[in-house]
Chain A
Amino acid sequence: MSAKTSLNTIKPGEHAIVSELISTGNMRRRLLDIGLIENTEIECVGRSPLGDPSAFLIRGAVIAIRSEDCKNILINA
């Protein structure tokens, strides 16, 4: 199994599988509610003009997440 990195490391067009969620509190609930649980496939589909936030395809919906929140989403690259 490849090493765990954070969601920040994938570039637009790249896919990854979520391995762990370290976010806490409201953000954790929110991410789980939109279906971001372990083993969910996630694709980076773009970045906003200033490079942050980025847009991710999660279970058919496109969701923008800021980079410091991405840090708390671990993936298997």
Chain B
Amino acid sequence: MGQTQASPGASAVYAQTIIKKKAPSDKVVALAGNPNVGKSTVFNALTGMKQHTGNWPGKTVGCAQGYYETRTQSYVMVDIPGTYSLMANSVEEEVARNFVCFGEPDAVVVVCDATCLERNLNLVLQTIEVSERVVVCVNLMDEAKRKGIRVDLALLSKRLGVPVVGTVARKKRSLQALSAVLDKTTSGDYASSPLKVVYPDCVEFAISILEPFVEAKCGSEINSRWLSLRLLEQDEGMIRQAESYLGFELLSDEMLSMAVDCAMRRLGEERIDTEKLKDLIVSTLVKEAEEISKDVVTYSDLKYSASDRRLDKVLTSRLTGYPIMLALLALIFWLTITGANYPSQLLSDGLFWIQDKLTQLFDYLQAPDWLHGALVLGVYRVMAWVISVMLPPMAIFFPLFTLLEDAGYLPRVAYNLDRPFKRCNACGKQALCMCMGFGCNAVGVTGCRIIDSPRERMLAVLTNSFVPCNGRFPTLIAILSMFIIGGAAGAASSLASAVLLTLIIVFAIAMTFWITKLLSKTILKGVPSSFTLELPPYRVPQIGKVIVRSIFDRTLFVLGRAVAVAAPAGLIIWLLSNIMIGDVSILSRCAAFLDPFARLMGLDGVILIAFILGFPANEIVVPIIIMAYMAQGSILELESLAEMRQLFVSNGWTITTALCTMLFMVLHWPCSTTLLTIRKETGSWKWTALAAAIPTVTGIAACMLLNLSACIFT
């Protein structure tokens, strides 16, 4: 429904997972489970790896692998994407299903949410049907306890016929039981007798016709009862996967194909077509899950989710839903700007003090001028600028954002914004990708995989870079404080910056909606597909852990990338601005060449060239501008924003230049990392080119429009 020819080629990304064993004796364990039950937390705790975790469904994309050892056995753990069932409805679920069904794991751990066991059991029952070695890991036991939900693990194990362990994955020690059970299960010490779900008589009869033929054909390669059901369902994708796994075609076998026909005829006599059969199978599983859950789970407090509902009433209500969203955004910006001011200054003082010392050292060594220029004024200074400007805001922004993420607020944002996105014929989950884009657009683009419809996913991919990422915030903040806030000091100034920055973000979001709508009316035509979104329970984030993790895993990672790009870029920029052709530097020549066009956009040649050279990372745009201006004569020490402002003004900056630069900062081509990610996700250079062209054209047009109106009205 509503699909166009424009479907992203997904093959490259969703290709078969390749397992890398360290030793041949390593056992492979798949971690399966519904979305957002803590699979990645279990995975991290066992392997010591740092997969992204957070309280929203769809974080895990692709299969992550990690290694883990118990006293007797070493394992390759595979963290697979969350899925509600093994009857794949989306690409992500297909990845999960293919690995569980055809990846030959030595064991499958199905991670369940203790507070919502019934729904989770559906997947458990399906997994038990296909795999012989299943371990059920009932996670979030602490949360269940707090809500007065008791799960009788022993009884659950007895009913399912497979080992069951209760865990609190946030607490590493609680995973010891899981390790012990895994050792037993993979070594074959645990005599499991998995529950066999019994389907209605007509289905069982059809299975009994087909199963002997499947068994004769496939032997013990695959669970014959399970494959019989899939053959009856005529799930083409699944049958193809099974065939490539087995290495021979199934339905070309005359006997087997006759048996399928015969079984289907019997079902037809009972008026059961394939659709009805699928319904019957799922319904039977759901009912079985309901039965088991009724016996195993007891609620001592029927109002266990009352506080969540109260919070939802505030955070998603007609009156307060949007204002709170905006207020939270402004609050995060305000904390970031206020908090970053002082350490930024401190860092910059420190780093430039080191620069002076380095200069003295070079003098002392009587090093040639060009060497000092290239290394100190080029490489070192750009790196120093990037670190002092980026590190403090990121070290504040990322943890704050992670707190919201862990608490479970992001799905509410998607819920609040679904209606406007639907108006643009898109999917509400695009809001989640957009939120990730604030951190890093490349991450946001990868996150688009949570959107099921290929058309809607492409819309989200193409528009992701319309929201500014963390590499662009510092520049926006710096220009805001220099030109817009001006004289105001202290708390008032940072409050004004925060409000203005929020306005910029609102503008960016409005542009996202507008472009999404434009695309869905033109090249990505279609009607919105159906949509379900789980709103998980709120969780109290582990503040200490969040701070440590987001600083070490995210901030330093992003900073590392920025510095890695800034160092060579600093060298190149220094060379460009110091190698003379005639008596004018290359940089000035390029700038002069671009100048007439840039002037139309309210910029100047230097700014435009800075954006172009900033293609690998947006963080270095301002350092390039500074360096280019300084090379053009006015030498001064940039110790404060006021001096920086001086430099800019003396190079002809007006309020219009500032506004246009900020506008172009929000709307221009995505950075190289993001574009490469888009290439990987869409599998097409054509779409990648479009993803670069759309924001660029929009940005140039918007800047020209702004400049023109400024010319008219002033």
A residues with CB within 8 A of B: 23, 25-35, 37-38, 40, 45-53, 55, 57-66, 68-69
The docked-state distance in angstroms from the alpha carbon of A34 to that of B286 is 9
The docked-state distance in angstroms from the alpha carbon of A50 to that of B287 is 35
Q: Which 9 A-B pairs have the closest CB atoms?
A: A49-B321, A27-B530, A50-B419, A33-B84, A33-B85, A32-B282, A62-B535, A60-B116, A64-B533
Given known pairs A32-B282, A66-B422, the reply for A49 and B316 (CB within 8 Å) is: yes
Point out the residues of chain B lying under 8 angstroms from A47, CB to CB.
Answer: 316, 318
* Total A-B Cβ pairs within 8 A: 131
Point out the residues of chain B lying under 8 angstroms from A61, CB to CB.
Answer: 116, 119, 534
Q: Which residue of A lies closest to B418 (CB)?
A: A53
Instruction: Decide if B531 touches A46 in the complex (CB within 8 Å).
Output: no
The docked-state distance in angstroms from the alpha carbon of A55 to that of B316 is 10
The docked-state distance in angstroms from the alpha carbon of A60 to that of B89 is 22
The docked-state distance in angstroms from the alpha carbon of A23 to that of B318 is 28
Instruction: Decide if B535 touches A37 in the complex (CB within 8 Å).
Output: no
Instruction: Decide if B530 touches A64 in the complex (CB within 8 Å).
Output: no
Point out the residues of chain A lying under 8 angstroms from B418, CB to CB.
Answer: 48, 52-53, 64, 66
A26 CB to nearest chain B CB (Å): 5
The docked-state distance in angstroms from the alpha carbon of A49 to that of B533 is 16
Q: Which residue of B lies closest to A50 (CB)?
A: B419
Given known pairs A45-B309, A65-B531, the reply for A53 and B316 (CB within 8 Å) is: no
B139 CB to nearest chain A CB (Å): 15
- Listed A/B pairs (9) with beta-carbon separation below 8 Å: A27-B529, A35-B290, A49-B419, A53-B415, A53-B531, A53-B533, A61-B116, A62-B535, A63-B533
The docked-state distance in angstroms from the alpha carbon of A63 to that of B419 is 15
Q: Is the interface of B mostly helix, strand, loop or mixed?
A: helix
Point out the residues of chain B lying under 8 angstroms from A62, CB to CB.
Answer: 305, 308, 312, 534-536
Instruction: Decide if B534 touches A35 in the complex (CB within 8 Å).
Output: no
Point out the residues of chain A lying under 8 angstroms from B592, CB to CB.
Answer: none
Point out the residues of chain A lying under 8 angstroms from B286, CB to CB.
Answer: 32, 35, 37, 40
B215 located at the interface, meaning its Cβ lies under 8 Å from any Cβ of chain A in the complex: no
B187 located at the interface, meaning its Cβ lies under 8 Å from any Cβ of chain A in the complex: no
Count of residues in B whose CB is under 8 Å from the partner chain: 46
B36 CB to nearest chain A CB (Å): 10
Instruction: Decide if A55 touches B530 in the complex (CB within 8 Å).
Output: no
B residues with CB within 8 A of A: 1, 84-85, 87, 89, 115-119, 122, 278-279, 282-283, 286-287, 289-290, 305, 308-309, 312-313, 316-318, 321-322, 415-416, 418-420, 422, 428, 452, 528-536
Given known pairs A49-B316, A63-B535, the reply for A37 and B282 (CB within 8 Å) is: yes
Interface centre among B119, B317, B532 (most CB of A within 10 A): B532
B23 CB to nearest chain A CB (Å): 38
A32 CB to nearest chain B CB (Å): 4
The docked-state distance in angstroms from the alpha carbon of A22 to that of B430 is 27
The docked-state distance in angstroms from the alpha carbon of A57 to that of B115 is 13
Instruction: Decide if A30 touches B322 in the complex (CB within 8 Å).
Output: no
Instruction: Decide if A63 touches B115 in the complex (CB within 8 Å).
Output: no
Instruction: Decide if A48 touches B416 in the complex (CB within 8 Å).
Output: yes
Point out the residues of chain B lying under 8 angstroms from A29, CB to CB.
Answer: 85, 87, 89, 278, 282
Instruction: Decide if B89 touches A63 in the complex (CB within 8 Å).
Output: no
Other A-B pairs, 15, CB within 8 Å; known A33-B89, A37-B286: A23-B530, A26-B529, A33-B282, A35-B119, A35-B289, A46-B313, A48-B321, A49-B318, A50-B318, A52-B419, A62-B305, A64-B428, A64-B533, A64-B535, A65-B531
Point out the residues of chain A lying under 8 angstroms from B89, CB to CB.
Answer: 26, 29-30, 33
**Which one of B84, B283, B535 lies within 8 Å of A38 (CB-CB)?**
B283
Point out the residues of chain B lying under 8 angstroms from A40, CB to CB.
Answer: 286
B671 CB to nearest chain A CB (Å): 33
The docked-state distance in angstroms from the alpha carbon of A66 to that of B5 is 26
Instruction: Decide if A49 touches B530 in the complex (CB within 8 Å).
Output: no
